[in-house]
Structure 1
Amino acid sequence: MADGSSIEWTEATWNPTTGCDRVSAGCDNCYALALAKRLKAMGVAKYQTDGNPSTSGPGFGVTVHEDALALPYRWRQPRLVFVNSMSDLFHAKVSIGFIRDVLAVIAGTPQHTYQMLTKRSLRLRRLADRLNWPANLWMGVSVEDESQLHRVDHLREVPAAVRFISAEPLLGPLGGLSLSGVGWVITGGESGPRARACDAAWVRGIRDACADADVPFFHKQWGGIRPKSLGRELDGRTHDGMPVQAAQAVVNIS
Protein backbone atom coordinates (compact mmCIF):
# COMPACT_ATOMS: atom_id res chain seq x y z
CA MET A 1 0.00 0.00 0.00
CA ALA A 2 1.26 3.45 -0.88
CA ASP A 3 -0.23 5.96 1.52
CA GLY A 4 -0.23 9.54 0.25
CA SER A 5 -0.68 8.71 -3.45
CA SER A 6 0.48 11.21 -6.07
CA ILE A 7 -2.64 10.47 -8.14
CA GLU A 8 -4.65 13.69 -8.02
CA TRP A 9 -8.08 12.11 -7.56
CA THR A 10 -7.24 9.73 -4.69
CA GLU A 11 -5.28 9.67 -1.43
CA ALA A 12 -3.89 6.14 -1.15
CA THR A 13 -3.51 2.97 -3.19
CA TRP A 14 -4.10 -0.67 -2.24
CA ASN A 15 -2.99 -3.58 -4.43
CA PRO A 16 -4.46 -6.93 -3.34
CA THR A 17 -3.50 -8.12 -6.82
CA THR A 18 -0.66 -7.07 -9.11
CA GLY A 19 0.01 -7.66 -12.78
CA CYS A 20 -2.10 -7.47 -15.92
CA ASP A 21 -2.18 -7.97 -19.70
CA ARG A 22 -2.70 -5.40 -22.45
CA VAL A 23 -6.21 -5.48 -23.92
CA SER A 24 -6.58 -2.26 -25.95
CA ALA A 25 -4.77 0.81 -27.23
CA GLY A 26 -4.94 2.52 -23.85
CA CYS A 27 -2.60 -0.16 -22.51
CA ASP A 28 0.17 0.39 -25.08
CA ASN A 29 2.35 2.54 -22.82
CA CYS A 30 1.15 1.20 -19.46
CA TYR A 31 2.90 2.95 -16.57
CA ALA A 32 2.25 0.00 -14.24
CA LEU A 33 3.97 -2.46 -16.59
CA ALA A 34 7.07 -0.27 -16.77
CA LEU A 35 7.05 0.24 -12.99
CA ALA A 36 6.70 -3.50 -12.34
CA LYS A 37 9.84 -4.16 -14.38
CA ARG A 38 11.79 -1.74 -12.17
CA LEU A 39 10.31 -3.17 -8.97
CA LYS A 40 11.28 -6.69 -10.02
CA ALA A 41 14.86 -5.55 -10.62
CA MET A 42 14.86 -4.00 -7.14
CA GLY A 43 13.83 -7.34 -5.64
CA VAL A 44 10.36 -6.28 -4.45
CA ALA A 45 8.61 -9.53 -3.53
CA LYS A 46 5.20 -8.68 -5.04
CA TYR A 47 6.73 -8.25 -8.50
CA GLN A 48 8.70 -11.44 -9.11
CA THR A 49 6.15 -13.18 -11.36
CA ASP A 50 6.62 -12.50 -15.08
CA GLY A 51 3.76 -12.12 -17.51
CA ASN A 52 3.39 -13.20 -21.13
CA PRO A 53 5.99 -11.15 -23.07
CA SER A 54 3.48 -10.39 -25.85
CA THR A 55 0.86 -8.88 -23.54
CA SER A 56 2.63 -8.25 -20.23
CA GLY A 57 6.23 -8.26 -19.04
CA PRO A 58 8.79 -8.80 -16.26
CA GLY A 59 7.26 -8.66 -12.80
CA PHE A 60 3.81 -8.04 -14.24
CA GLY A 61 2.29 -11.50 -14.21
CA VAL A 62 -1.12 -11.54 -12.50
CA THR A 63 -0.56 -12.39 -8.84
CA VAL A 64 -3.01 -12.55 -5.93
CA HIS A 65 -1.76 -11.28 -2.56
CA GLU A 66 -3.81 -12.78 0.25
CA ASP A 67 -1.60 -11.06 2.82
CA ALA A 68 -2.62 -7.63 1.48
CA LEU A 69 -6.27 -8.12 2.42
CA ALA A 70 -5.70 -7.07 6.03
CA LEU A 71 -4.09 -3.72 5.24
CA PRO A 72 -7.18 -1.45 5.17
CA TYR A 73 -8.17 -2.57 8.67
CA ARG A 74 -5.01 -0.91 9.97
CA TRP A 75 -5.81 2.56 8.64
CA ARG A 76 -7.60 4.50 11.33
CA GLN A 77 -8.22 7.76 9.49
CA PRO A 78 -10.78 7.77 6.64
CA ARG A 79 -9.28 8.09 3.19
CA LEU A 80 -9.96 7.69 -0.52
CA VAL A 81 -8.34 4.46 -1.68
CA PHE A 82 -7.63 3.50 -5.30
CA VAL A 83 -7.86 -0.30 -5.49
CA ASN A 84 -5.36 -2.02 -7.79
CA SER A 85 -3.37 0.80 -9.32
CA MET A 86 -1.03 -2.01 -10.46
CA SER A 87 -3.60 -4.52 -11.72
CA ASP A 88 -7.21 -5.18 -12.76
CA LEU A 89 -9.34 -7.07 -10.24
CA PHE A 90 -11.62 -8.33 -13.05
CA HIS A 91 -8.81 -10.00 -14.96
CA ALA A 92 -9.77 -13.57 -15.91
CA LYS A 93 -6.95 -14.94 -13.75
CA VAL A 94 -8.49 -13.47 -10.57
CA SER A 95 -11.09 -15.83 -9.15
CA ILE A 96 -14.57 -14.69 -8.19
CA GLY A 97 -13.76 -15.93 -4.69
CA PHE A 98 -10.88 -13.48 -4.36
CA ILE A 99 -12.96 -10.66 -5.84
CA ARG A 100 -15.54 -11.39 -3.13
CA ASP A 101 -12.79 -11.32 -0.50
CA VAL A 102 -11.68 -7.85 -1.67
CA LEU A 103 -15.25 -6.53 -1.64
CA ALA A 104 -15.74 -7.98 1.87
CA VAL A 105 -12.73 -5.99 3.10
CA ILE A 106 -14.20 -2.86 1.53
CA ALA A 107 -17.55 -3.51 3.22
CA GLY A 108 -15.77 -4.15 6.51
CA THR A 109 -13.99 -0.79 6.45
CA PRO A 110 -16.83 1.69 5.84
CA GLN A 111 -14.73 4.61 7.10
CA HIS A 112 -12.87 4.53 3.78
CA THR A 113 -14.11 5.21 0.27
CA TYR A 114 -12.72 2.90 -2.42
CA GLN A 115 -12.27 3.60 -6.13
CA MET A 116 -11.81 0.73 -8.57
CA LEU A 117 -11.22 0.71 -12.35
CA THR A 118 -11.36 -2.04 -14.95
CA LYS A 119 -10.98 -2.39 -18.69
CA ARG A 120 -12.61 -5.82 -18.47
CA SER A 121 -16.14 -4.50 -18.37
CA LEU A 122 -17.76 -7.58 -19.87
CA ARG A 123 -16.56 -9.78 -16.99
CA LEU A 124 -17.56 -7.03 -14.56
CA ARG A 125 -21.10 -7.05 -15.96
CA ARG A 126 -21.32 -10.85 -15.99
CA LEU A 127 -20.23 -11.14 -12.36
CA ALA A 128 -22.13 -8.11 -11.04
CA ASP A 129 -25.22 -9.94 -9.80
CA ARG A 130 -23.05 -12.56 -8.06
CA LEU A 131 -21.27 -9.98 -5.93
CA ASN A 132 -22.25 -7.91 -2.90
CA TRP A 133 -21.62 -4.24 -3.69
CA PRO A 134 -20.53 -2.17 -0.66
CA ALA A 135 -21.94 1.33 -0.35
CA ASN A 136 -18.40 2.75 -0.03
CA LEU A 137 -17.15 1.38 -3.37
CA TRP A 138 -17.07 3.42 -6.56
CA MET A 139 -16.77 1.28 -9.69
CA GLY A 140 -15.37 2.67 -12.91
CA VAL A 141 -14.23 1.72 -16.40
CA SER A 142 -11.33 3.06 -18.44
CA VAL A 143 -12.35 4.45 -21.84
CA GLU A 144 -9.61 5.81 -24.10
CA ASP A 145 -11.58 6.44 -27.29
CA GLU A 146 -14.93 5.83 -29.00
CA SER A 147 -14.11 2.19 -29.72
CA GLN A 148 -14.37 1.42 -26.00
CA LEU A 149 -17.69 3.15 -25.22
CA HIS A 150 -19.29 -0.29 -24.82
CA ARG A 151 -17.49 -0.44 -21.48
CA VAL A 152 -19.78 2.33 -20.22
CA ASP A 153 -22.84 0.36 -21.32
CA HIS A 154 -21.59 -2.61 -19.29
CA LEU A 155 -20.88 -0.37 -16.30
CA ARG A 156 -24.45 0.94 -16.27
CA GLU A 157 -25.63 -2.57 -15.37
CA VAL A 158 -23.49 -2.68 -12.22
CA PRO A 159 -25.26 -1.70 -8.96
CA ALA A 160 -22.35 0.32 -7.56
CA ALA A 161 -22.99 3.34 -5.35
CA VAL A 162 -21.05 5.51 -7.81
CA ARG A 163 -20.26 4.54 -11.40
CA PHE A 164 -17.48 6.50 -13.06
CA ILE A 165 -15.40 6.83 -16.23
CA SER A 166 -11.66 7.31 -16.44
CA ALA A 167 -10.89 8.68 -19.91
CA GLU A 168 -7.14 8.35 -19.41
CA PRO A 169 -5.07 8.17 -21.44
CA LEU A 170 -7.56 9.97 -23.67
CA LEU A 171 -6.60 9.03 -27.24
CA GLY A 172 -9.56 10.40 -29.16
CA PRO A 173 -12.94 12.10 -28.83
CA LEU A 174 -15.79 10.36 -27.04
CA GLY A 175 -18.52 11.41 -29.42
CA GLY A 176 -21.85 9.86 -28.57
CA LEU A 177 -20.94 9.42 -24.91
CA SER A 178 -24.04 8.95 -22.76
CA LEU A 179 -23.64 9.81 -19.09
CA SER A 180 -26.88 8.19 -18.03
CA GLY A 181 -26.18 6.35 -14.78
CA VAL A 182 -22.65 7.79 -14.52
CA GLY A 183 -21.68 9.80 -11.43
CA TRP A 184 -18.19 11.07 -12.24
CA VAL A 185 -15.79 11.49 -15.18
CA ILE A 186 -11.99 11.83 -15.15
CA THR A 187 -9.93 12.88 -18.18
CA GLY A 188 -6.18 12.88 -18.64
CA GLY A 189 -3.41 12.87 -21.19
CA GLU A 190 -0.79 10.14 -21.46
CA SER A 191 2.63 10.49 -19.85
CA GLY A 192 6.00 8.87 -20.44
CA PRO A 193 8.66 8.85 -23.16
CA ARG A 194 6.18 7.64 -25.82
CA ALA A 195 3.23 9.75 -24.69
CA ARG A 196 0.56 10.34 -27.33
CA ALA A 197 -0.89 13.84 -27.51
CA CYS A 198 -4.26 14.67 -25.98
CA ASP A 199 -6.29 17.17 -28.02
CA ALA A 200 -7.94 19.88 -25.93
CA ALA A 201 -11.05 19.62 -28.11
CA TRP A 202 -11.56 16.04 -26.94
CA VAL A 203 -11.43 17.13 -23.30
CA ARG A 204 -13.73 20.11 -23.89
CA GLY A 205 -16.30 17.80 -25.45
CA ILE A 206 -16.31 15.61 -22.35
CA ARG A 207 -16.33 18.60 -20.01
CA ASP A 208 -19.34 20.07 -21.79
CA ALA A 209 -21.17 16.74 -21.77
CA CYS A 210 -20.62 16.55 -18.01
CA ALA A 211 -21.92 20.10 -17.54
CA ASP A 212 -25.05 19.29 -19.56
CA ALA A 213 -25.67 16.12 -17.54
CA ASP A 214 -24.72 17.69 -14.17
CA VAL A 215 -21.96 15.09 -13.67
CA PRO A 216 -18.78 16.05 -11.72
CA PHE A 217 -15.78 16.46 -14.04
CA PHE A 218 -12.11 16.06 -13.09
CA HIS A 219 -9.27 16.86 -15.50
CA LYS A 220 -6.18 15.19 -14.09
CA GLN A 221 -3.38 16.24 -16.45
CA TRP A 222 -2.29 16.94 -20.03
CA GLY A 223 0.61 14.50 -19.71
CA GLY A 224 3.87 14.60 -21.62
CA ILE A 225 7.26 13.14 -20.74
CA ARG A 226 6.36 13.56 -17.07
CA PRO A 227 2.76 13.34 -15.79
CA LYS A 228 2.69 17.00 -14.77
CA SER A 229 4.84 18.35 -17.61
CA LEU A 230 2.01 20.27 -19.27
CA GLY A 231 -0.04 21.10 -16.18
CA ARG A 232 -3.72 20.56 -15.44
CA GLU A 233 -5.50 23.70 -16.58
CA LEU A 234 -8.20 23.62 -19.25
CA ASP A 235 -9.18 27.00 -20.63
CA GLY A 236 -7.48 28.84 -17.78
CA ARG A 237 -8.76 26.83 -14.83
CA THR A 238 -8.49 23.48 -13.12
CA HIS A 239 -11.43 21.09 -12.96
CA ASP A 240 -11.58 19.14 -9.70
CA GLY A 241 -15.17 17.91 -9.60
CA MET A 242 -15.81 14.80 -7.51
CA PRO A 243 -18.87 12.97 -6.18
CA VAL A 244 -20.34 14.35 -2.97
CA GLN A 245 -19.08 11.37 -0.96
CA ALA A 246 -15.48 12.30 -1.76
CA ALA A 247 -15.94 15.83 -0.54
CA GLN A 248 -17.31 14.52 2.73
CA ALA A 249 -14.39 12.09 3.08
CA VAL A 250 -11.92 14.93 2.70
CA VAL A 251 -13.75 16.92 5.39
CA ASN A 252 -13.59 13.94 7.72
CA ILE A 253 -9.84 13.56 7.19
CA SER A 254 -9.09 17.23 7.81
Structure 2
Amino acid sequence: MADRSAIEWTEATWNPTTGCDRVSAGCDNCYALALAARLKAMGSPKYQQDGDPRTSGPGFGVTVHADALSIPLRWRAPRHVFVNSMSDLFHARVPTTFIQDVFGVMAAAPQHTFQVLTKRSRRLARLADTLPWSDNVWMGVSVEDGAALPRIDDLRRVPAVVRFLSCEPLLGPLTGVDLDDIDWVIAGGESGRHHRRMDPAWVIELRDLCTEAAVPFFFKQWGGRTPKSGGRTLEGRIWDGMPVTTRPSPLAASTM
Protein backbone atom coordinates (compact mmCIF):
# COMPACT_ATOMS: atom_id res chain seq x y z
CA MET A 1 0.00 0.00 0.00
CA ALA A 2 0.99 3.62 -0.39
CA ASP A 3 -0.57 6.62 1.29
CA ARG A 4 0.47 8.65 -1.75
CA SER A 5 0.36 7.64 -5.40
CA ALA A 6 1.91 8.99 -8.59
CA ILE A 7 -1.07 7.71 -10.59
CA GLU A 8 -2.79 10.85 -11.82
CA TRP A 9 -6.38 9.72 -11.24
CA THR A 10 -6.01 8.53 -7.66
CA GLU A 11 -4.34 9.57 -4.39
CA ALA A 12 -3.40 6.33 -2.61
CA THR A 13 -3.12 2.61 -3.33
CA TRP A 14 -4.23 -0.34 -1.20
CA ASN A 15 -3.24 -3.93 -1.99
CA PRO A 16 -5.12 -6.48 0.11
CA THR A 17 -4.04 -8.97 -2.56
CA THR A 18 -0.94 -9.07 -4.74
CA GLY A 19 -0.04 -11.04 -7.84
CA CYS A 20 -1.85 -11.84 -11.06
CA ASP A 21 -1.72 -13.68 -14.40
CA ARG A 22 -1.80 -12.36 -17.95
CA VAL A 23 -5.25 -12.67 -19.54
CA SER A 24 -5.22 -10.34 -22.56
CA ALA A 25 -3.06 -8.11 -24.75
CA GLY A 26 -3.15 -5.30 -22.21
CA CYS A 27 -1.16 -7.48 -19.80
CA ASP A 28 1.80 -8.12 -22.10
CA ASN A 29 4.05 -5.43 -20.60
CA CYS A 30 2.50 -5.32 -17.12
CA TYR A 31 4.25 -2.78 -14.89
CA ALA A 32 3.12 -4.62 -11.75
CA LEU A 33 4.72 -7.89 -12.86
CA ALA A 34 8.08 -6.20 -13.40
CA LEU A 35 7.80 -4.30 -10.12
CA ALA A 36 6.95 -7.48 -8.20
CA ALA A 37 10.19 -9.12 -9.39
CA ARG A 38 12.18 -6.15 -8.09
CA LEU A 39 10.32 -6.16 -4.78
CA LYS A 40 10.99 -9.88 -4.35
CA ALA A 41 14.71 -9.31 -4.94
CA MET A 42 14.62 -6.56 -2.29
CA GLY A 43 13.12 -9.03 0.21
CA SER A 44 9.64 -7.50 0.46
CA PRO A 45 7.57 -10.10 2.34
CA LYS A 46 4.42 -9.50 0.27
CA TYR A 47 6.21 -10.53 -2.93
CA GLN A 48 7.88 -13.83 -2.15
CA GLN A 49 5.38 -16.14 -3.84
CA ASP A 50 6.16 -16.79 -7.50
CA GLY A 51 3.54 -17.12 -10.21
CA ASP A 52 3.33 -19.51 -13.14
CA PRO A 53 6.19 -18.42 -15.46
CA ARG A 54 3.93 -18.87 -18.48
CA THR A 55 1.47 -16.21 -17.29
CA SER A 56 3.05 -14.53 -14.29
CA GLY A 57 6.52 -14.28 -12.78
CA PRO A 58 8.80 -13.94 -9.74
CA GLY A 59 7.05 -12.49 -6.72
CA PHE A 60 3.78 -12.21 -8.64
CA GLY A 61 1.91 -15.29 -7.45
CA VAL A 62 -1.60 -14.44 -6.26
CA THR A 63 -1.40 -13.87 -2.50
CA VAL A 64 -4.07 -12.76 -0.03
CA HIS A 65 -2.98 -10.36 2.73
CA ALA A 66 -5.57 -10.41 5.51
CA ASP A 67 -3.31 -8.19 7.62
CA ALA A 68 -3.73 -5.41 5.05
CA LEU A 69 -7.51 -5.27 5.30
CA SER A 70 -7.61 -2.66 8.05
CA ILE A 71 -5.21 -0.17 6.44
CA PRO A 72 -7.83 2.22 4.97
CA LEU A 73 -9.63 2.32 8.31
CA ARG A 74 -6.55 4.00 9.77
CA TRP A 75 -6.53 6.78 7.17
CA ARG A 76 -8.65 9.57 8.60
CA ALA A 77 -8.39 12.18 5.83
CA PRO A 78 -10.65 11.42 2.82
CA ARG A 79 -8.85 10.24 -0.26
CA HIS A 80 -9.35 8.35 -3.51
CA VAL A 81 -7.92 4.84 -3.10
CA PHE A 82 -6.99 2.59 -6.02
CA VAL A 83 -7.69 -0.96 -4.84
CA ASN A 84 -5.12 -3.57 -5.94
CA SER A 85 -2.70 -1.66 -8.12
CA MET A 86 -0.58 -4.83 -7.85
CA SER A 87 -3.28 -7.43 -8.46
CA ASP A 88 -6.83 -8.08 -9.64
CA LEU A 89 -9.38 -8.48 -6.85
CA PHE A 90 -11.55 -10.72 -9.04
CA HIS A 91 -8.79 -13.18 -9.95
CA ALA A 92 -10.05 -16.78 -9.71
CA ARG A 93 -7.61 -17.55 -6.89
CA VAL A 94 -8.93 -14.81 -4.61
CA PRO A 95 -11.58 -16.45 -2.40
CA THR A 96 -15.09 -15.04 -2.68
CA THR A 97 -15.18 -14.57 1.08
CA PHE A 98 -12.07 -12.40 0.92
CA ILE A 99 -13.57 -10.25 -1.84
CA GLN A 100 -16.59 -9.80 0.41
CA ASP A 101 -14.27 -8.81 3.27
CA VAL A 102 -12.62 -6.16 1.07
CA PHE A 103 -16.03 -4.73 0.16
CA GLY A 104 -16.94 -4.77 3.84
CA VAL A 105 -13.89 -2.68 4.69
CA MET A 106 -14.76 -0.20 1.93
CA ALA A 107 -18.26 0.15 3.36
CA ALA A 108 -16.75 0.72 6.82
CA ALA A 109 -14.55 3.57 5.52
CA PRO A 110 -17.13 6.00 4.05
CA GLN A 111 -14.66 8.89 4.19
CA HIS A 112 -12.77 7.40 1.24
CA THR A 113 -13.64 6.76 -2.41
CA PHE A 114 -12.44 3.34 -3.56
CA GLN A 115 -11.57 2.72 -7.21
CA VAL A 116 -11.63 -0.99 -8.11
CA LEU A 117 -10.44 -2.12 -11.54
CA THR A 118 -10.58 -5.59 -13.09
CA LYS A 119 -10.06 -7.46 -16.33
CA ARG A 120 -12.06 -10.39 -14.95
CA SER A 121 -15.46 -8.90 -15.64
CA ARG A 122 -17.35 -12.18 -15.84
CA ARG A 123 -16.48 -13.07 -12.26
CA LEU A 124 -17.31 -9.52 -11.21
CA ALA A 125 -20.77 -9.83 -12.75
CA ARG A 126 -21.36 -13.26 -11.20
CA LEU A 127 -20.44 -12.08 -7.71
CA ALA A 128 -22.03 -8.63 -7.85
CA ASP A 129 -25.22 -9.65 -6.07
CA THR A 130 -23.25 -11.16 -3.18
CA LEU A 131 -21.25 -8.03 -2.41
CA PRO A 132 -22.15 -5.11 -0.09
CA TRP A 133 -22.05 -2.20 -2.55
CA SER A 134 -21.60 1.08 -0.70
CA ASP A 135 -21.83 4.46 -2.41
CA ASN A 136 -18.08 5.08 -2.06
CA VAL A 137 -17.12 2.24 -4.43
CA TRP A 138 -16.31 3.05 -8.06
CA MET A 139 -16.09 -0.09 -10.22
CA GLY A 140 -14.16 -0.23 -13.49
CA VAL A 141 -13.00 -2.62 -16.19
CA SER A 142 -9.93 -2.45 -18.41
CA VAL A 143 -10.74 -2.00 -22.11
CA GLU A 144 -7.51 -1.90 -24.09
CA ASP A 145 -8.84 -2.78 -27.55
CA GLY A 146 -11.90 -4.04 -29.40
CA ALA A 147 -11.47 -7.59 -28.08
CA ALA A 148 -12.10 -6.30 -24.54
CA LEU A 149 -15.40 -4.54 -25.30
CA PRO A 150 -17.58 -7.37 -23.85
CA ARG A 151 -16.24 -6.44 -20.40
CA ILE A 152 -18.35 -3.28 -20.57
CA ASP A 153 -21.60 -5.27 -20.75
CA ASP A 154 -20.54 -7.18 -17.62
CA LEU A 155 -19.79 -3.89 -15.87
CA ARG A 156 -23.27 -2.58 -16.67
CA ARG A 157 -24.70 -5.41 -14.55
CA VAL A 158 -22.94 -4.10 -11.44
CA PRO A 159 -24.81 -1.79 -9.00
CA ALA A 160 -21.87 0.57 -8.44
CA VAL A 161 -22.53 4.28 -7.95
CA VAL A 162 -19.82 4.96 -10.56
CA ARG A 163 -18.90 2.61 -13.42
CA PHE A 164 -15.71 3.45 -15.30
CA LEU A 165 -13.48 2.26 -18.13
CA SER A 166 -9.69 2.22 -18.04
CA CYS A 167 -8.55 2.29 -21.66
CA GLU A 168 -4.88 2.04 -20.78
CA PRO A 169 -2.78 0.97 -22.45
CA LEU A 170 -4.98 1.85 -25.42
CA LEU A 171 -3.82 -0.64 -28.05
CA GLY A 172 -6.42 -0.16 -30.75
CA PRO A 173 -9.48 1.84 -31.77
CA LEU A 174 -12.71 1.58 -29.78
CA THR A 175 -14.88 2.83 -32.61
CA GLY A 176 -18.53 3.13 -31.65
CA VAL A 177 -18.03 1.97 -28.05
CA ASP A 178 -21.36 2.03 -26.17
CA LEU A 179 -21.04 4.39 -23.18
CA ASP A 180 -24.57 3.94 -21.86
CA ASP A 181 -24.48 3.68 -18.04
CA ILE A 182 -20.76 4.47 -18.00
CA ASP A 183 -19.78 7.39 -15.78
CA TRP A 184 -16.07 7.91 -16.50
CA VAL A 185 -13.41 6.99 -19.06
CA ILE A 186 -9.64 6.99 -18.48
CA ALA A 187 -7.31 6.63 -21.46
CA GLY A 188 -3.57 6.49 -21.88
CA GLY A 189 -0.64 5.06 -23.78
CA GLU A 190 1.72 2.31 -22.67
CA SER A 191 5.04 3.02 -21.00
CA GLY A 192 8.21 1.02 -20.50
CA ARG A 193 11.09 -0.37 -22.54
CA HIS A 194 8.78 -2.42 -24.78
CA HIS A 195 5.90 0.04 -24.97
CA ARG A 196 3.54 -0.15 -27.94
CA ARG A 197 2.72 3.12 -29.65
CA MET A 198 -0.77 4.55 -29.25
CA ASP A 199 -2.20 6.09 -32.42
CA PRO A 200 -3.42 9.63 -31.63
CA ALA A 201 -6.52 8.95 -33.73
CA TRP A 202 -7.62 6.26 -31.27
CA VAL A 203 -7.59 8.52 -28.23
CA ILE A 204 -9.07 11.51 -30.07
CA GLU A 205 -11.95 9.36 -31.31
CA LEU A 206 -12.54 8.08 -27.77
CA ARG A 207 -12.41 11.60 -26.36
CA ASP A 208 -14.97 12.74 -28.93
CA LEU A 209 -17.29 9.84 -28.09
CA CYS A 210 -17.09 10.79 -24.41
CA THR A 211 -17.84 14.42 -25.23
CA GLU A 212 -20.89 13.44 -27.29
CA ALA A 213 -22.16 11.16 -24.52
CA ALA A 214 -21.38 13.70 -21.75
CA VAL A 215 -19.07 11.18 -20.05
CA PRO A 216 -16.10 12.72 -18.15
CA PHE A 217 -12.81 11.93 -19.91
CA PHE A 218 -9.40 11.65 -18.21
CA PHE A 219 -6.30 11.50 -20.40
CA LYS A 220 -3.50 10.04 -18.31
CA GLN A 221 -0.48 9.97 -20.63
CA TRP A 222 0.87 9.44 -24.14
CA GLY A 223 3.36 6.91 -22.78
CA GLY A 224 6.84 6.08 -24.02
CA ARG A 225 10.05 4.90 -22.41
CA THR A 226 8.76 6.30 -19.10
CA PRO A 227 5.18 7.13 -18.05
CA LYS A 228 5.83 10.86 -18.40
CA SER A 229 7.87 10.70 -21.62
CA GLY A 230 5.13 12.04 -23.85
CA GLY A 231 3.35 14.25 -21.35
CA ARG A 232 -0.42 14.53 -20.88
CA THR A 233 -1.45 17.25 -23.32
CA LEU A 234 -4.10 16.25 -25.87
CA GLU A 235 -4.90 18.80 -28.57
CA GLY A 236 -3.54 21.67 -26.52
CA ARG A 237 -5.04 20.94 -23.10
CA ILE A 238 -5.10 18.61 -20.11
CA TRP A 239 -8.18 16.42 -19.81
CA ASP A 240 -8.87 15.77 -16.11
CA GLY A 241 -12.55 14.85 -16.22
CA MET A 242 -13.88 13.15 -13.08
CA PRO A 243 -17.26 11.54 -12.34
CA VAL A 244 -19.98 13.78 -10.97
CA THR A 245 -21.23 12.37 -7.67
CA THR A 246 -22.87 13.73 -4.55
CA ARG A 247 -19.81 12.76 -2.52
CA PRO A 248 -16.98 15.23 -1.77
CA SER A 249 -14.12 14.89 -4.25
CA PRO A 250 -10.77 16.05 -2.83
CA LEU A 251 -9.00 14.71 -5.92
CA ALA A 252 -11.11 16.85 -8.26
CA ALA A 253 -10.45 19.88 -6.08
CA SER A 254 -6.70 19.28 -6.18
CA THR A 255 -6.63 19.29 -10.00
CA MET A 256 -8.51 22.55 -10.46
Task: With the length of structure 1 as denominator, give the TM-score of the two structures.
Answer: 0.98
**Separation of aligned partners in 2, 1:106 and 1:36:** 25
**Separation of aligned partners in 2, 1:39 and 1:198:** 29
Q: Which residue of 2 aligns with 1:51?
A: 51
Matched AA of 1:48: Q
Residue 144 of structure 1 contacts residue 172 of structure 1 at CA under 8 Å; is this kept in 2? Answer: yes
**Separation of aligned partners in 1, 2:182 and 2:251:** 24
Matched AA of 2:34: A
Q: Which residue of 2 aligns with 1:14?
A: 14
Q: Which residue of 1 aligns with 2:149?
A: 149
Matched AA of 2:24: S
Residue 16 of structure 1 contacts residue 69 of structure 1 at CA under 8 Å; is this kept in 2? Answer: yes
Residue 26 of structure 1 contacts residue 171 of structure 1 at CA under 8 Å; is this kept in 2? Answer: yes
Q: Which residue of 2 aligns with 1:203?
A: 203
**Separation of aligned partners in 1, 2:13 and 2:74:** 14
Q: Which residue of 2 aligns with 1:82?
A: 82
Give the drift of 1:180.
0.3
Matched AA of 2:118: T
**Separation of aligned partners in 1, 2:190 and 2:246:** 25
Give the drift of 1:248.
2.7
Secondary structure of the corresponding residue to residue 249 of structure 2: helix
**Separation of aligned partners in 2, 1:57 and 1:194:** 17
**Separation of aligned partners in 1, 2:10 and 2:52:** 30
Query: Is 2:67 the partner of 1:31?
Result: no
Q: Which residue of 1 aligns with 2:94?
A: 94
Residue 188 of structure 2 contacts residue 219 of structure 2 at CA under 8 Å; is this kept in 1? Answer: yes
Residue 113 of structure 1 contacts residue 246 of structure 1 at CA under 8 Å; is this kept in 2? Answer: no
**Separation of aligned partners in 1, 2:247 and 2:66:** 31
Give the drift of 1:87.
0.2
Give the drift of 1:131.
1.3
Query: Is 2:239 the partner of 1:239?
Result: yes
Secondary structure of the corresponding residue to residue 35 of structure 2: helix
Secondary structure of the corresponding residue to residue 244 of structure 1: coil
Pairwise mapping of residues 119-198 of structure 1 onto structure 2 (< 5 A)?
119-198=119-198
Matched AA of 2:108: G
**Separation of aligned partners in 1, 2:23 and 2:110:** 32
**Separation of aligned partners in 2, 1:127 and 1:232:** 36
Matched AA of 2:206: I
Task: With the length of structure 2 as denominator, give the TM-score of the two structures.
Answer: 0.97
Worse-superposed segment, 128-137 or 43-52: 128-137
Residue 39 of structure 2 contacts residue 47 of structure 2 at CA under 8 Å; is this kept in 1? Answer: yes
**Separation of aligned partners in 1, 2:176 and 2:158:** 21
Structure 2 CA distance for partners of 1:164 and 1:93, relative to 1, 3 Å: same
Query: Is 2:2 the partner of 1:2?
Result: yes
Secondary structure of the corresponding residue to residue 138 of structure 2: strand
Pairwise mapping of residues 106-117 of structure 1 onto structure 2 (< 5 A)?
106-117=106-117
Q: How many residues align?
A: 254
Secondary structure of the corresponding residue to residue 159 of structure 1: coil
Over 4 Å off, 4+ runs: 251-254
Residue 187 of structure 2 contacts residue 203 of structure 2 at CA under 8 Å; is this kept in 1? Answer: yes
Give the drift of 1:130.
1.5
Structure 2 CA distance for partners of 1:251 and 1:94, relative to 1, 3 Å: closer
Residue 220 of structure 1 contacts residue 232 of structure 1 at CA under 8 Å; is this kept in 2? Answer: yes
Give the drift of 1:13.
0.2
Unaligned regions of 5+ residues in structure 2, if any? none
